[in-house]
């Protein structure tokens, strides 16, 4: 989704803005632009469709644009095609205001009609342009007054950055439902969509809240609440990761780097939470009483986080003996859900900013549920709006296709499962200790899989040209198959679907023909034979079979499958953490062999902040 960076300081702004934008590239975009003010040139705006490099070349890395205050933007098109004119910053008719925006102004059509009737000329198809023209319309010499009126008039979601040529010693930011952070420096200050854009310059940040407006000067930042402009004291946070965490570190792609980081990320996530043979979840304030009375457990998420939820359902139902409903966030809020004050909503989100998930969280809370979230980005909106939050200590995830966030979300699910089960008394001491011990061996077992990545590379070389790929599995193997299929389709653009293996014969098997690849997941030992019957069914219809099982069943599977990869044996509940790794690698190598843009797949954005 769109990325925003704003700088005010004493250095040339353009190179800093371009560098900040390059750190936001991972969010997904299709055009980019900057606006920089200088006494000589006034407000200079340069925009270009395509990669940031195109913009950077236009201004020779920023050397052609002078001034020490400015805004930059990467645009992920929603209203209006990707083009130079639709790129941000959008500028008012009189050239006085430049605006960058992330979100959607929902009533922009109506505002545009009103303004056009008054003679205002629009140049783009964007919703954002109405903000620039409205600022001009309401401006009587006081920018804050004009902005307050604009915010009163617009509906929807926004993170806004504004620069006014009349007040070039300040930048203004405003937020509602789209993320925006402020970075504090010595003689300079930043606004940005996330901390990756500013961490090279400062670790001292704060998170703007909904309904807040910030005025940035070189010497400070003042935050106000909208609409009465009352000053707000913001809590500062120190970013505790190194900039190298957001760099490729010698890998060709962030995705491979992040796949390889999984043993560490998994260990970092579980280790501090296991003390003296017990799970300790600091900050989690859910006791026996609530759990005992809990009438429903919803898991709410989107995409891969939803797939974690699918695996979590099997785990939590087994451990807690309570029924668990996994719901897509985009459906939850419109399905009239049954929620009471005894309901627990487990919300899963890497970014903590996914708008569908955030809206579902708010709906769940409005209806009385208690919200526990699993989030990677510290200080994100979902984290802040939850009753309880457990962070995944995965570090920044830059590749659009999630890998280490998925793995660490699963790790937290296991911890929650064990913690709640112990409180509910649904798990015996021996089983508890057995699972916990095995959980601590998972990072090493993931490492062993990673050391054999060439085997997966070889399998990818056999199948990367297939036009259609099915993933089949039963129970948790089915849940992991969903993630394997999504990973493959999002970065390789091969059509792929995941099926509960038993469901194939109810329709989908008609699609199986010679040359179709079926990735068969048969790691869940209890259902190995059942799964193998489904494998025989598709093989006899001409499918190629790539099998995934555990080391102890490899020889059995090889009797039928064309090619088998085996993961180390583990406790059945923990299998998804191992199974997913070869599937991530398979997607990666297939995409690599097909020449795809792995870290930035077409049409996708990392943090989906529009509905």
Q: Which residues are designated catalytic?
A: 2, 606
Nearest in space to 73 (alpha carbons), one of 59, 89, 57: 89
How far is Cα 233 from Cα 353, in angstroms, rounded to an integer? 23
Contact assessment for residue 329 and residue 356, using Cβ atoms and an 8 Å cutoff = yes
How many residues belong to the site for ligand F6R (CB under 6 A)?
14
Nearer to ligand F6R, 322 or 384 (CB): 384
Residue 30 dihedral angles phi and psi, to the nearest 5°: -135, 0
Q: Residue 303 Cβ, how far from ligand F6R at the closest point, in Å?
A: 2
Nearer to ligand F6R, 56 or 349 (CB): 349
For ligand F6R, which residue of 303, 395, 547, 582 counts as binding (CB under 6 A)?
303
Contact assessment for residue 240 and residue 253, using Cβ atoms and an 8 Å cutoff = no
Residue 132 in contact with ligand F6R, rule: CB under 6 A: no
Residue 350 in contact with ligand F6R, rule: CB under 6 A: yes
Residue 196 in contact with ligand F6R, rule: CB under 6 A: no
Nearer to ligand F6R, 71 or 382 (CB): 382
Contact assessment for residue 224 and residue 212, using Cβ atoms and an 8 Å cutoff = yes
Q: Residue 24 Cβ, how far from ligand F6R at the closest point, in Å?
A: 15
For ligand F6R, which residue of 31, 305, 496, 609 counts as binding (CB under 6 A)?
305
Q: How many CA atoms lie within 13 A of 392 on its CB side?
A: 33
Nearer to ligand F6R, 86 or 485 (CB): 485
Stretch that binds ligand F6R, among 173-181, 216-224, 348-356, 575-583 (CB under 6 A): 348-356
Contact assessment for residue 428 and residue 435, using Cβ atoms and an 8 Å cutoff = no
Residue 400 dihedral angles phi and psi, to the nearest 5°: -60, -45
Contact assessment for residue 516 and residue 496, using Cβ atoms and an 8 Å cutoff = no
Nearer to ligand F6R, 380 or 549 (CB): 380
How far is Cα 514 from Cα 512, in angstroms, rounded to an integer? 7
Kindly write down the DSSP assignment for every residue of 19-78, as one continuous string.
HHHHHHGGG--SEEEEEEEETTTEEEEEEEES-HHHHHHHTGGGTT---SEEEEEEE--S
Residue 402 in contact with ligand F6R, rule: CB under 6 A: yes
Residue 1 in contact with ligand F6R, rule: CB under 6 A: no
Residue 269 in contact with ligand F6R, rule: CB under 6 A: no
Residue 488 in contact with ligand F6R, rule: CB under 6 A: no
- DSSP H or E run through 450: helix 429-450
Q: How many CA atoms lie within 13 A of 172 on its CB side?
A: 25
Kindly write down the DSSP assignment for every residue of 304-360, as one continuous string.
HHHHHHHHHHHHHHHHH-S-EEEEEHHHHTTS-----TTEEEEEEESSS--HHHHHH
Residue 534 in contact with ligand F6R, rule: CB under 6 A: no
Contact assessment for residue 579 and residue 548, using Cβ atoms and an 8 Å cutoff = yes
Q: Residue 400 Cβ, how far from ligand F6R at the closest point, in Å?
A: 6
Contact assessment for residue 539 and residue 501, using Cβ atoms and an 8 Å cutoff = no
- DSSP H or E run through 388: strand 388-391
Nearer to ligand F6R, 327 or 349 (CB): 349
Stretch that binds ligand F6R, among 88-96, 202-210, 344-352, 411-419 (CB under 6 A): 344-352
> How many C-beta atoms surround the C-beta of residue 135 within 10 A?
24
For ligand F6R, which residue of 48, 401, 494, 596 counts as binding (CB under 6 A)?
401
Token pair in block for residue 483: 């993630």
Site string for ligand F6R, 353-392 (x = CB under 6 A): -x--x-----------------------------------
Residue 485 in contact with ligand F6R, rule: CB under 6 A: no
The residue whose Cβ lies closest to ligand F6R is 303
Q: Residue 104 Cβ, how far from ligand F6R at the closest point, in Å?
A: 17
Site for ligand F6R in 407-426 (CB under 6 A): none
Token pair in block for residue 450: 């990673």
Nearer to ligand F6R, 70 or 303 (CB): 303
Question: Which positions ≥6 away from 412 have C-beta within 8 Å?
Answer: 269, 374, 390, 392
Stretch that binds ligand F6R, among 14-22, 119-127, 253-261, 297-305 (CB under 6 A): 297-305
Q: Residue 603 Cβ, how far from ligand F6R at the closest point, in Å?
A: 12
For ligand F6R, which residue of 115, 279, 302, 416 counts as binding (CB under 6 A)?
302
Nearer to ligand F6R, 56 or 357 (CB): 357
Residue 349 in contact with ligand F6R, rule: CB under 6 A: yes
Residue 351 in contact with ligand F6R, rule: CB under 6 A: yes
Nearer to ligand F6R, 170 or 178 (CB): 178
Nearer to ligand F6R, 74 or 350 (CB): 350
Residue 490 in contact with ligand F6R, rule: CB under 6 A: yes
Q: Residue 484 Cβ, how far from ligand F6R at the closest point, in Å?
A: 11
Q: Chain-centre distance of CA 342, in angstroms?
A: 29
Token pair in block for residue 184: 């504090």
Site for ligand F6R, rule CB under 6 A: 302-305, 349-351, 354, 357, 401-402, 486, 490, 608
């Amino acid at each position: 989704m769109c990325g925003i960076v704003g700088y005010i300081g004493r250095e040339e702004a353009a190179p800093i803005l371009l560098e900040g934008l390059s750190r936001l590239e991972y969010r997904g975009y299709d055009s980019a632009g900057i606006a920089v003010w200088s006494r000589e040139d006034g407000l200079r705006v340069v925009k270009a469709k395509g990669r940031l490099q195109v913009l950077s070349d236009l201004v020779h890395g920023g050397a052609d644009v002078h001034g020490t205050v400015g805004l930059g933007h990467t645009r992920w098109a929603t209203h209006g095609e990707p083009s130079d004119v639709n790129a941000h910053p959008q500028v008012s008719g009189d050239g006085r205001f430049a605006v960058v925006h992330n979100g959607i102004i929902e009533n922009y059509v109506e505002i545009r009609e009103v303004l056009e009737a008054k003679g205002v000329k629009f140049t783009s198809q964007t919703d954002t342009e109405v903000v620039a023209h409205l600022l001009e319309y309401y401006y009587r010499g006081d920018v804050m007054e004009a902005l307050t009126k604009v915010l009163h008039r617009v509906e929807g979601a926004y993170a806004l950055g504004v620069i006014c040529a009349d007040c070039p010693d300040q930048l203004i930011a405003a937020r509602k439902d789209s993320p925006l952070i402020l970075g504090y420096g010595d003689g300079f200050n930043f606004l940005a969509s996330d901390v990756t854009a500013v961490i090279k310059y400062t670790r001292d940040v704060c998170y703007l809240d909904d309904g807040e407006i910030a005025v940035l000067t070189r010497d400070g930042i003042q935050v106000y609440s909208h609409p009465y402009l009352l000053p707000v004291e913001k809590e500062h946070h120190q970013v505790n990761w190194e900039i190298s965490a957001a760099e490729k570190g010698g890998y060709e792609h962030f995705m491979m780097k992040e796949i390889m980081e999984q043993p560490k990320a998994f260990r970092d996530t579980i280790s501090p939470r296991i003390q003296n043979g017990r799970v300790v979840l600091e900050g989690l304030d859910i006791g026996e009483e609530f759990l005992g009375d809990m009438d429903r457990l919803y898991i709410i998420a989107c995409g891969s986080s939803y797939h974690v939820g699918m695996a979590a359902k099997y785990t939590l139902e087994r451990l807690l003996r309570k029924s668990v409903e996994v719901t897509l966030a985009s459906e939850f809020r419109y399905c009239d859900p049954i929620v009471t004050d005894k309901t627990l909503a487990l919300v899963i989100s890497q970014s903590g900013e996914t708008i569908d998930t955030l809206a579902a969280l708010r709906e769940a809370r409005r209806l009385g549920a208690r919200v526990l979230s699993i989030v990677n980005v510290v200080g994100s909106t979902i984290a802040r709006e939850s009753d309880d939050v457990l962070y995944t200590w995965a570090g920044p995830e830059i590749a659009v296709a999630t890998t280490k966030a998925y793995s660490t979300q699963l790790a937290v699910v296991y911890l929650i499962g064990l913690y709640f089960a112990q409180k509910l008394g649904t798990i015996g001491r021996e089983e508890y200790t057995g699972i916990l011990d095995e959980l601590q061996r998972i990072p090493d077992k993931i490492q062993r899989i990673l050391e054999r990545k060439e085997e997966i590379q070889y399998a990818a070389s056999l199948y990367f040209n297939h036009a259609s790929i099915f993933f089949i599995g039963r129970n948790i193997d089915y849940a992991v198959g969903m993630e394997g299929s999504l990973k493959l389709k999002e970065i390789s653009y091969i059509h792929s679907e995941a099926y509960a293996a038993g469901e194939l014969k109810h329709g989908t098997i008609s699609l199986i023909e010679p040359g179709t690849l079926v990735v068969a997941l048969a790691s869940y030992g209890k259902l190995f034979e059942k799964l193998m019957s489904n494998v025989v069914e598709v093989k006899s219809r001409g499918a190629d079979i790539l099998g995934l099982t555990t080391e102890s069943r490899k020889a059995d599977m090889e009797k039928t499958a064309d090619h088998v990869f085996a993961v180390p044996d583990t406790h059945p509940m923990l299998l998804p953490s191992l199974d997913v790794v070869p599937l991530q690698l398979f997607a990666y190598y297939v995409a690599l062999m097909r020449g795809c843009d792995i870290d930035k797949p077409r049409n996708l954005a990392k943090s989906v902040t529009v509905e």
